[in-house]
Amino acid sequence: MAEGAVSPQLVLGLGVVLILGLVVSAMLPDRFTGGGKTGGGVTAQSQALSLPAALPGLSPFTPATPLQFSGRVTQVASIGNDVGWGQVHIWIDNGTGALQEISVAPQAYLTQIGCPSFDGARVSGVGFIFDPGRPNAELYVKSIQVGGRTCKLRDDEGLALWMVVQ
Protein backbone atom coordinates (compact mmCIF):
# COMPACT_ATOMS: atom_id res chain seq x y z
CA MET A 1 0.00 0.00 0.00
CA ALA A 2 1.32 3.48 -0.84
CA GLU A 3 2.48 5.84 1.87
CA GLY A 4 -0.36 8.14 3.00
CA ALA A 5 -3.11 6.00 1.45
CA VAL A 6 -6.11 5.16 3.60
CA SER A 7 -6.83 1.48 4.05
CA PRO A 8 -10.24 0.12 2.95
CA GLN A 9 -10.80 -1.30 6.46
CA LEU A 10 -10.41 2.18 7.98
CA VAL A 11 -12.94 3.68 5.54
CA LEU A 12 -15.40 0.86 6.23
CA GLY A 13 -14.92 1.21 10.00
CA LEU A 14 -15.48 4.98 9.91
CA GLY A 15 -18.63 4.47 7.79
CA VAL A 16 -20.07 1.97 10.28
CA VAL A 17 -19.31 4.32 13.22
CA LEU A 18 -20.95 7.23 11.38
CA ILE A 19 -24.10 5.23 10.58
CA LEU A 20 -24.36 3.93 14.17
CA GLY A 21 -23.98 7.49 15.45
CA LEU A 22 -26.83 8.67 13.22
CA VAL A 23 -29.08 5.80 14.32
CA VAL A 24 -28.40 6.44 18.02
CA SER A 25 -29.01 10.20 17.69
CA ALA A 26 -32.29 9.56 15.83
CA MET A 27 -33.46 7.28 18.62
CA LEU A 28 -32.72 9.74 21.45
CA PRO A 29 -35.89 11.02 23.15
CA ASP A 30 -36.93 14.62 22.54
CA ARG A 31 -36.36 15.54 26.19
CA PHE A 32 -32.60 15.18 25.61
CA THR A 33 -32.42 16.81 22.22
CA GLY A 34 -35.17 19.42 22.66
CA GLY A 35 -37.00 18.21 19.56
CA GLY A 36 -36.78 21.68 18.02
CA LYS A 37 -39.32 23.01 20.53
CA THR A 38 -38.97 25.98 22.78
CA GLY A 39 -40.52 26.34 26.18
CA GLY A 40 -41.40 23.29 28.16
CA GLY A 41 -43.62 24.56 30.94
CA VAL A 42 -46.01 22.27 32.75
CA THR A 43 -49.73 22.58 31.91
CA ALA A 44 -51.95 23.16 34.90
CA GLN A 45 -54.36 20.28 35.56
CA SER A 46 -57.41 22.54 35.27
CA GLN A 47 -56.40 23.55 31.74
CA ALA A 48 -56.05 19.99 30.43
CA LEU A 49 -58.82 18.77 28.14
CA SER A 50 -59.78 15.19 27.44
CA LEU A 51 -60.21 14.71 23.70
CA PRO A 52 -61.41 11.58 21.92
CA ALA A 53 -58.84 9.83 19.77
CA ALA A 54 -59.04 10.82 16.13
CA LEU A 55 -59.93 7.69 14.18
CA PRO A 56 -60.89 8.80 10.69
CA GLY A 57 -63.37 6.50 9.01
CA LEU A 58 -64.27 4.64 12.19
CA SER A 59 -67.44 5.07 14.18
CA PRO A 60 -68.14 3.80 17.68
CA PHE A 61 -69.55 0.26 17.71
CA THR A 62 -72.96 -0.20 19.26
CA PRO A 63 -74.03 -3.84 19.39
CA ALA A 64 -77.44 -4.57 17.90
CA THR A 65 -80.02 -6.00 20.26
CA PRO A 66 -81.16 -9.53 19.33
CA LEU A 67 -84.89 -9.58 18.49
CA GLN A 68 -87.28 -12.54 18.48
CA PHE A 69 -89.56 -13.08 15.49
CA SER A 70 -92.17 -15.64 14.49
CA GLY A 71 -94.94 -16.01 11.95
CA ARG A 72 -96.07 -17.67 8.74
CA VAL A 73 -94.08 -17.00 5.56
CA THR A 74 -96.24 -15.26 2.95
CA GLN A 75 -93.57 -14.44 0.34
CA VAL A 76 -90.05 -15.61 -0.55
CA ALA A 77 -87.73 -13.68 -2.90
CA SER A 78 -84.08 -13.78 -3.87
CA ILE A 79 -82.83 -10.20 -4.00
CA GLY A 80 -79.56 -9.11 -5.62
CA ASN A 81 -79.06 -11.94 -8.11
CA ASP A 82 -78.56 -9.37 -10.86
CA VAL A 83 -75.56 -7.82 -9.07
CA GLY A 84 -73.86 -11.05 -8.02
CA TRP A 85 -74.98 -11.59 -4.44
CA GLY A 86 -78.34 -13.33 -4.23
CA GLN A 87 -79.89 -13.00 -0.77
CA VAL A 88 -83.12 -14.79 0.19
CA HIS A 89 -85.66 -12.47 1.82
CA ILE A 90 -88.90 -13.65 3.38
CA TRP A 91 -91.95 -11.74 4.50
CA ILE A 92 -93.83 -13.11 7.48
CA ASP A 93 -97.28 -12.45 8.88
CA ASN A 94 -96.68 -12.22 12.61
CA GLY A 95 -100.30 -11.56 13.50
CA THR A 96 -100.01 -7.77 13.74
CA GLY A 97 -101.57 -7.16 10.33
CA ALA A 98 -98.30 -5.86 8.84
CA LEU A 99 -95.80 -8.03 7.01
CA GLN A 100 -92.26 -8.11 8.36
CA GLU A 101 -89.33 -8.32 5.90
CA ILE A 102 -86.53 -10.63 6.98
CA SER A 103 -83.15 -11.00 5.25
CA VAL A 104 -82.10 -14.65 5.53
CA ALA A 105 -78.98 -15.76 3.58
CA PRO A 106 -77.85 -16.70 0.07
CA GLN A 107 -79.78 -19.67 -1.36
CA ALA A 108 -76.52 -21.57 -1.98
CA TYR A 109 -75.64 -21.36 1.74
CA LEU A 110 -79.14 -22.41 2.82
CA THR A 111 -78.86 -25.45 0.55
CA GLN A 112 -75.34 -26.23 1.81
CA ILE A 113 -76.44 -26.32 5.47
CA GLY A 114 -79.65 -28.23 4.67
CA CYS A 115 -82.11 -25.52 5.64
CA PRO A 116 -85.68 -26.49 4.56
CA SER A 117 -87.84 -24.45 2.17
CA PHE A 118 -89.59 -21.38 3.59
CA ASP A 119 -92.61 -21.40 1.24
CA GLY A 120 -95.72 -21.13 3.45
CA ALA A 121 -93.82 -22.44 6.49
CA ARG A 122 -94.21 -21.31 10.06
CA VAL A 123 -90.87 -19.85 11.21
CA SER A 124 -89.40 -18.46 14.40
CA GLY A 125 -85.99 -17.23 15.37
CA VAL A 126 -83.68 -14.46 16.47
CA GLY A 127 -82.25 -11.63 14.39
CA PHE A 128 -80.85 -8.11 14.37
CA ILE A 129 -81.99 -4.77 12.98
CA PHE A 130 -78.80 -2.87 12.15
CA ASP A 131 -80.53 0.38 11.15
CA PRO A 132 -83.32 0.87 13.70
CA GLY A 133 -83.78 4.52 12.70
CA ARG A 134 -84.92 3.60 9.18
CA PRO A 135 -88.64 2.95 8.80
CA ASN A 136 -89.42 -0.66 7.79
CA ALA A 137 -85.76 -1.70 8.21
CA GLU A 138 -85.43 -5.42 7.56
CA LEU A 139 -84.39 -7.88 10.21
CA TYR A 140 -81.23 -9.95 9.57
CA VAL A 141 -81.57 -13.54 10.79
CA LYS A 142 -79.09 -14.88 13.32
CA SER A 143 -80.87 -18.24 13.54
CA ILE A 144 -84.19 -19.43 12.21
CA GLN A 145 -86.28 -22.51 12.92
CA VAL A 146 -88.22 -23.90 9.98
CA GLY A 147 -89.73 -27.36 9.62
CA GLY A 148 -88.33 -28.43 13.00
CA ARG A 149 -84.77 -27.58 11.97
CA THR A 150 -82.67 -24.68 13.31
CA CYS A 151 -80.49 -22.95 10.73
CA LYS A 152 -77.64 -20.81 12.13
CA LEU A 153 -76.83 -17.96 9.75
CA ARG A 154 -74.97 -15.22 11.66
CA ASP A 155 -72.79 -15.01 14.75
CA ASP A 156 -73.44 -12.96 17.90
CA GLU A 157 -72.03 -9.84 16.23
CA GLY A 158 -74.25 -10.26 13.18
CA LEU A 159 -71.46 -11.39 10.85
CA ALA A 160 -72.58 -13.78 8.13
CA LEU A 161 -71.42 -17.37 8.71
CA TRP A 162 -71.30 -18.00 4.95
CA MET A 163 -68.52 -15.39 4.72
CA VAL A 164 -66.27 -17.28 7.15
CA VAL A 165 -63.20 -18.68 5.42
CA GLN A 166 -63.01 -22.41 6.04
Cα(20)–Cα(76) distance, integer angstroms: 70
Measure Cα distances from 2 to 6, 8, 10, 63, 162 in Å.
Answer: 9, 13, 15, 78, 76
Q: Is the dihedral of CA 130, 131, 133, 138 positive or negative?
A: negative
Our count of domains for the chain comes to 1
Q: Is residue 48 part of a domain?
A: no
Please tell me the total number of residues recorded for the chain in this structure: 166
Residue 120 lies in a domain: yes
Confirm whether 96 is domain-assigned.
Answer: yes
Residue 105 lies in a domain: yes
pLDDT digits (tens, 9 = 90+) for 15-67: 999 999 888 888 887 665 555 555 555 555 566 777 666 667 766 667 778 99
1 falls within a domain: no
**What is the C-alpha to C-alpha distance for residues 12 and 146, in angstroms, rounded to an integer?**
77
Instruction: Output DSSP code: residue 42.
Output: P
Distance CA 142, CA 151 (A): 9
Nearest Cα residue to 108 out of 145, 161, 166: 161
Range of the domain at 81: 67-163
CA distance 25 to 13: 18
Residue 137's pLDDT band (cuts 50, 70, 90): confident
Task: Let me know if residue 11 belongs to a domain.
Answer: no
Identify whether the C-beta of residue 88 lies closer than 8 Å to the C-beta of residue 141: no
Q: What is the CATH number of the domain that holds 86?
A: 2.40.50.140
If pLDDT is split at 50, 70 and 90, which confidence band does 165 have?
Answer: low
- Least confidently predicted of 5-9, 80-84, 89-93: 80-84
Q: Within a domain: residue 10?
A: no
Distance separating alpha carbons of residues 163 and 86, to the nearest angstrom:
13
C-alpha distances in Å from residue 42, one per residue of 39, 47, 139, 142: 9, 11, 54, 53
- Of residues 5 and 150, the one with the higher pLDDT is 150
In a domain, 149, yes or no: yes
**List of residues 6+ apart from 137 with CB closer than 8 A:** 129, 130, 131
